[in-house]
Amino acid sequence: MGERLQKYLARAGVASRRKAEELIRSGRVTVNGRVARLGERVPEGAEVRVDGKPVRPPDERVVLVLHKPRGYTTTKRDPHAERTVYELVPDLPGLVAVGRLDRDSEGLLLFTNWGELAHRLTHPRYRVERVYRVTSRRGTPPIHLLKRLERGVVEGGERLSAKKARPAPHGAVLTLTEGKKREVRRMMRAIGYPVERLLRVKYGPVRLGGLAPGRWRRLSEEEVAKLARAVGLFEEE
């Protein structure tokens, strides 16, 4: 019978399902040479094109976890970047980084060729937890300042908050769910404890564990399923 077209496009990494629906409505998608209709199913072996270019989901869903070292940029093409994280992982079709870590940040970075999973893991609606181990030259912030981070601070005209903030040696451990740009560094600066080192140790149910800097591993099918269920996938399969 085939899967619905918007899901097919999301698996192909073209766009999230919502964006895929917009592409279909605007007449930019064809199935076997005719303009596609929203909600139709893609027969096995059908030729699907977006703006005239053929698209096809990967043969299998791949999710990798990398221990990103300091000094690498989370981008594929940046003429100003000396080193990018894509130099550290296999060159697989459709593989993209899930979210970002800035050049000076370290730790857990996910990669996948499953477009809808990548979209949901980064969308604020799904409130996926990211856990960061922060070190500051000023040491460990007092409890009242960490509680302030949980209540929310305003930095650069934007309200930022941590779901959890607890003390740790020479710094803190913060749990966030939104993934705003340089959020951890901005929050710590707002309470007077600028970040010296920033390490992401957990993303959703996936932990960094003992993975060495610069090394990657592929998630098992069980780990991928757990990650997908955390953002409501598989229930919709």
Catalytic annotation, pick one of 51, 91, 102, 104: 102
- Token output for 21: 């629906």
The helix (H) or strand (E) run that includes residue 183 is helix 183-190
Helix axes 115-122, 221-230, angle to 10 degrees: 50
Q: Does residue 78 carry a catalytic annotation? A: no
Residue 14 contacts residue 50 (beta carbons within 8 Å):
yes
Backbone angles phi, psi at 118, to 5 degrees: -60, -40
CB atoms within 10 A of CB 157: 5
Residue type, 112: T
**Any idea which residues carry the catalytic annotation?**
102
